[in-house]
Amino acid sequence: MGSSNILLWDPSFVNAENDTLYAADSQRSGGAPNGVAFPSATGNKLFCQVSSIAYAIAEFLAGKGFTVVDSNPANIVSALNSLFANIPGRGPLQSLSYSSTQALNVANYLGFQIPLSVSTPTILTVSGQQVGDEIVLIFVQDSSGGNTVTFPSSFHGAVQPDPTPNAISAQAFKVDAASDFIAISSSNTGGFGSCTRTNQTGVYVPGITYTNSTSSAKFEEVCMIGPENDNTGRSYSIRATVNGTPGVVSSITNYSYGYASVGFWVPAGSTFSVSLTQDTGGTVYPPPSIYSWFEVSF
């Protein structure tokens, strides 16, 4: 720990103007004129305020290990320069041109927009991070899509960008005590997470097995729609299967444009599928189908 001999003047505000009197004091607002006494209460208030600021700065520097004494003001200037010289102002976002290698300097920016192209993995290198930093990486696919990213080993929980042509993906990371980047969110253009499949929202093929290829659990919500103008007493069911274990059945019966939905969690690396079943009655047209399928990352 450093030390300081900078002290507060009149720390108990003895014989000092209060805030109201000081704000209204004509000498404070206009300056002390020649040949007129300068009241001690006004001076004490002034010295209290000035010394409070000086004392606070001195104590801050001493707490950082510097020695602060009034006989060596140059040392105080040196301490301030040493402490703040390496903290540049950071821009909110750096928009980069395409390159197969991208060097990201977190000391200068808190966000990076990175174009992807030519089906060659874009290799990232990162520097300048400080513990507690939060950064956002925005990836932009070209018109062909399918481009991937090679993350540094210091990135944990990163997922590949949405491969859809022209898709925009965003991932946020927080720097931990080891200066590693820990994923705290991920999204594609629709605001949903990423798994190994061609799209993240919309109509999905029932019975197809998908994989949660991320490092965190995802929540899936799937909605089924029944046939138009049925009203025959037929029933239709939707059920999710995660890692081979069937879940709860949700059904609709005797409806026109009836809906039923299931919601379920998929652990990282797990497989899942959804099945649709016509439980009673003969074949009708159109058959039940998946109306929507959404995936959300928490």
Q: What is the pLDDT of residues 196-229, one digit of tens each?
A: 444 344 446 677 888 877 777 777 878 787 765 5
Percent of the chain past pLDDT 70, that is, above it, reads 81
What one-letter code names the amino acid at 208? I
The CATH code that applies to domain 210-296 is 2.60.120.40
- pLDDT at res. 185: 61
Mean per-residue pLDDT of the chain: 80
CB 44 within 8 A of CB 51: no
If we measure between CA atoms, which residue out of 104, 144, 159 comes closest to residue 127?
Answer: 104
Segments in the chain forming alpha helices (H): 19-24, 26-30, 40-63, 73-84
Is residue 184's pLDDT more than 90? no
Rounded (10°) angle between helices 40-63 and 73-84: 50
Tell me which DSSP letter residue 158 carries.
-
Q: Tell me, which fold does domain 94-187 have in CATH?
A: Jelly Rolls (2.60.120)
36-71 pLDDT, tens digit per residue, is 888 999 989 999 999 999 898 888 888 877 888 888
Q: Say how far apart CA 169 and CA 167 lie, in whole Å.
A: 7
- Region(s) of the chain under CATH 2.60.120.40: 210-296
Residue 178, classed as helix, strand or coil, is coil
Angstrom distance (rounded) from CA 293 to CA 288: 14
At 222, list the tokens.
């799937």
Q: What is the pLDDT of residues 270-287, one digit of tens each?
A: 888 888 887 765 555 567
